Amino acid sequence: MQEQTLLTLIVLLPLVGALINAFALRAANVGIVCTVATFVVALPFIFSVMLFMGPVIQGNTLTVDLFNWVSVPLVNGKEFNISFGLTVDRLSGIFLLVITGVGSLIHMYSGEYMHHEKRPYRFFVYLNLFIFSMLLLVLGSNMLVTFLGWEGVGVCSYLLIGYWYEDKANSMAAIKAFIANRVGDAGFLIAMFLCYMLFKTINYAELAAIIAASPQTFLAENSVEITLIGLCLLLGVAGKSAQIPLYTWLPDAMAGPTPVSALIHAATMVTSGIYLMNRLSYVLVLSPTVMTTIAIVGAATAIFSATIGFAQTDIKKVLAYSTCSQLGYMVMACGVGAFQYGVSHVVTHAFFKACLFLGAGSVIHALHHEQDIRKMGGLFKKMPITSVTFLIATLAIIGFPGFSGFFSKDAILAAAWAGPFGSPILWLVGWVTAGFTAFYMLRLTWLVFFGACRAEHPDQIHETNFVITIPLIILAVLSIFGGLIAIPEVFTGKADFITSFLSPVLGQAQSIINASGIHATHLSHSMEYGLMGASVLIVFVGALFAIAVYKNGPDGGEKFANAFGPIYRLVRDKWRIDELYELILIRPLAKVGKFLYSFIDKIIIEGVVNGIPETLYTGTSVASDAQSGMARNYLKFIFISVFIFGLILFL
């Protein structure tokens, strides 16, 4: 089959699946619906592998222009054209594999997880639509197609968070996620407008060519606009990838079904910000201010959300804050100029975090929708497969030596120290966060799987069936070996895979960095071993500390918490950020809204709109009262008027 056809099919199949499920299989049972939905994601996975092994690995860029999407004649006689184009290169190739691969595993898993649902087709339609939008996002050949996917994933995320919409809290969480995303989307839109204003194109390939051809003076003159583009993009990234200040929606998004949390809020959608930063790396690196801001935002998010993870008692909330924190790592990697390590962490994170979420889902499923980790414990013997896979994923996320997270995270930490925009302070923040991660993850694992069982009906708990455990096993294996893509140079003697693999995409950014005179610090091998040793050390400290505190169940944590008192309460309440936003943003906005409603709308607009007909009505009712319907009255009018006219004629 032709490569172009393959690429088109990859995008279209999930859409077709969604349509089939939405219109033909409304009443079908979960088995059929899930099979269709999984098939239309698994087939694109096979196609993606074929593409990956073909043109992508050869370093070619494959582009398909499906149709001319926007065509507007301009005042100056030219035409504004945007084609609906799909492009696959090495960067989108990696995302393609992750989205369709992890996506099909999660579709399969959902078949079991959602089998109690009465009308499951709705769930799978949304999931398929999500995959379609996500593929558009990473395959778009210009910013507008990416934006279409960007909005699409936002809508699907909203629909899936609010899937159980009968519960008001879920609907509220969905609305919160949608609005927070909307703020970020506005940033992306403005960045797109500025890009067109400055470079007269929003096509990625043309943009890269124009920037490469632009003389230094042009870029220097427009440095304010370029910085603005970068900052607006960062706002978009902060919205989608849950960074400070817009991260608050992600923990609330856990109100959705667990497969959704795994697919959208851990593995794919939240990493689209990282994709965008990689895609537009040559724009971002033009402004050191932007790069530094990105790095600081990432580092701040990483450590800030890790601290909140300490005190959460909901199994999914802990994982959500950990996702925020890991996304912070990825954003920091992009910010220090090591874009490729952001991508490698996206890949490994997709494996281990999806595994963690699906494991959590397995536990929740077995415990009949119990999510409080204080009511779990001792599940290791009852659910061996879930426990082992969860443990592997935990070791991967905390960066236990040899597991995938170790390589991808240490690459980021080394870049934070030595990258072009890095500094030892950023490394320090990342290093402390690694310790925090180890602490809260081990706390979670210990409280759920070890110690005494605190569940209400311990004898009813048993291992979930194979539809759930097979994806877990596959993801656990990938969590172990996924790190191979980022094995650093010190171990192998040659540059790591991801750096050389993504060099065609990121080469331009690299040469811009080099041309601007900023250089990465060269790390000696001993230094690199030293940094690695330091992070292994803090991981062990964090992990052992967690086990020491929680070895007898959650009570150990309480003594620990009492020692900290107010700080503990602040952390447990998520630093009261939601309350702060409520105070400084939502309430004033609500007041403005109330004013607009009660004054502008009620009095001015409705006054005009209702006033005109009311005046007319009052005026005409006087005239219509004359039409009494009584013939005698009419006669009187006739007589009086004839009399008056006669009088006038006479005089």
Instruction: Compute the distance between CA of residue 548 and CA of residue 149 in angstroms, rounded to an integer.
Output: 46
Nearer to another protein, 541 or 638 (CB): 638
Contact between 608 and another protein per CB under 8 A: no
Task: Determine if 635 is a binding residue for another protein (CB under 8 A).
Answer: yes
Residue 622 CB, shortest distance to another protein, in Å, is: 11
Q: How far is the CB of 639 from another protein (least distance, A)?
A: 7
Stretch that binds another protein, among 58-66, 133-141, 215-223, 634-642 (CB under 8 A): 634-642
Select 626 or 648, whichever has its Cβ closest to another protein. Answer: 626
- Check binding of 641 to another protein (CB under 8 A): no
Per-residue binder mask for another protein (CB under 8 A), 398-427, x = binder:
------------------------------
| 372 beta partners | 314
- Which listed range, 88-96, 262-270, 439-447, 628-636, lies at the site for another protein (CB under 8 A)? 628-636
The minimum distance between CB 613 and another protein, in angstroms, equals 18
Q: Is 618 in the site for another protein (CB under 8 A)?
A: no
Alpha helices in 204-271 (DSSP H): 204-213, 216-221, 223-240, 249-252, 258-262
Q: In this structure, are residues 423 and 340 in contact, taking their beta carbons and an 8 Å threshold? A: no
CA distances from 190 to 151, 187, 193, 232 (A): 14, 5, 5, 7
What's the CA gap between 15 and 564, in Å, rounded? Answer: 52
**CB of 626 or CB of 649, closer to another protein:** 626
The C-alpha atoms of residue 305 and residue 435 are separated, in whole angstroms, by 13
Residue 227 Cα distances to 234, 291, 558, 629, angstroms: 10, 9, 47, 78
Contact between 650 and another protein by CB under 8 A: the answer reads no
Minimum separation from the CB atom of position 632 to another protein (A): 6
Residue 631 CB, nearest approach to another protein (Å):
6
629 contributes a contact to another protein by CB under 8 A:
yes
The least CB distance from residue 186 to another protein, in Å, is 56
**Shortest gap between Cβ of 635 and another protein (angstroms)?**
5
**Window of 10-18, 167-175, 432-440, 631-639 that interacts with another protein by CB under 8 A:** 631-639
Residue closer to another protein by CB (options 596, 616) is 616
Binding status of residue 639 toward another protein by CB under 8 A: yes
Helix, strand, or coil (residue 565): coil
**For residues 177 and 261, what is the distance between their CA atoms, to the nearest angstrom?**
13
- Residue 560 is encoded by which pair of tokens? 């620990």
- 368 binding another protein? (CB under 8 A): no
Per the CB < 8 A criterion, the answer to whether 400 and 544 are in contact is no
- Return the range that interacts with another protein (CB under 8 A); candidates 332-340, 362-370, 415-423, 625-633: 625-633
From the CB of 600, what's the least distance to another protein, in Å?
Answer: 38
- Minimum Å distance from CB 621 to another protein? 10
Structure tokens at 2: 């032709």
Cβ closest to another protein, residue 492 vs residue 628? 628
The three-state DSSP-derived secondary structure of 410-479 is HHHHHHHHHCCCCCHHHHHHHHHHHHHHHHHHHHHHHHHHCCCCCCCCHHHCCCCCHHHHHHHHHHHHHH
622 binds another protein (CB under 8 A): no
> Out of 1, 27, 630, 647, which residue is the one contacting another protein (CB under 8 A)?
630
Start-to-end C-alpha separation, the chain = 104
Q: Which window, 251-259, 361-369, 392-400, 633-641, contacts another protein (CB under 8 A)?
A: 633-641
Instruction: Give burial (CB, 10 Å; 0-12/13-18/19+) of 43.
Output: middle
Question: CB-wise, 57 or 635, nearer to another protein?
Answer: 635
Nearer to another protein, 57 or 642 (CB): 642
User: Is the Cα torsion angle 289, 294, 297, 300 positive or negative in sign?
Assistant: negative
Residue 79: strand pairing partners: 73
- Distance, in Å, from the CA atom of 387 to the CA atom of 469, rounded to the nearest integer, reads 10
Q: How many CA atoms lie within 13 A of 153 on its CB side?
A: 30
Task: Give the residue with the Cβ less far from another protein, 27 or 623.
Answer: 623
Minimum CB separation from another protein for residue 651, in Å?
A: 20
Of 524, 627, 647, 649, the residue at the interface with another protein (CB under 8 A) is 627
| CB 623 to another protein: min, Å | 8
Q: Is 67 or 650 the residue whose CB approaches another protein more closely?
A: 650
Residue 650: other Cβ atoms inside 10 A = 6
Q: Is 632 in the site for another protein (CB under 8 A)?
A: yes
Report the distance separating Cα 89 and Cα 87, nearest Å.
Answer: 7
* Least distance (Å) between residue 638 CB and another protein: 9
Distance (Å, whole) CA 258 – CA 264: 10
CA angle at residue 169 from 163 to 172, to 5 degrees? 80
Please say which residue, 2 or 621, places its beta carbon nearer to another protein. 621
Between 76 and 618, CB nearer to another protein: 618
CB contact at 8 A, 42 and 104: yes
Which of 74, 224, 626, 651 is close enough to bind another protein by CB under 8 A? 626
Per CB under 8 A, the list member of 200, 457, 576, 636 interacting with another protein is: 636
631 touches another protein (CB under 8 A): yes
Can residue 628 be called a binding residue for another protein (CB under 8 A)?
A: yes
Distance of CA 73 to the CA centre of its chain: 36
CB neighbour list of residue 577: distance below 8 Å, 6 or more residues apart: 248
Q: Say how many residues touch another protein, by CB under 8 A.
A: 11
Q: Give dist(CA 444, CA 363) in Å, integer.
A: 12
Q: Rounded to the nearest whole angstrom, what is the least distance from the CB of residue 645 to another protein in the complex?
A: 16
Q: With contact defined as beta carbons under 8 Å apart, do 438 and 539 qualify?
A: yes
Distances (CA, A) of 424 to 301, 344, 628: 17, 22, 93
d(CA 264, CA 248): 16
Q: Does 599 bind another protein (CB under 8 A)?
A: no
Q: Report in angstroms how near the CB of residue 636 gets to another protein at its nearest.
A: 6
User: Judged by CB, which is closer to another protein: 591, or 636?
Assistant: 636
Q: Which of residues 577-596 bind another protein (CB under 8 A)?
A: none
The residues binding another protein (CB under 8 A) are 624, 626-632, 635-636, 639
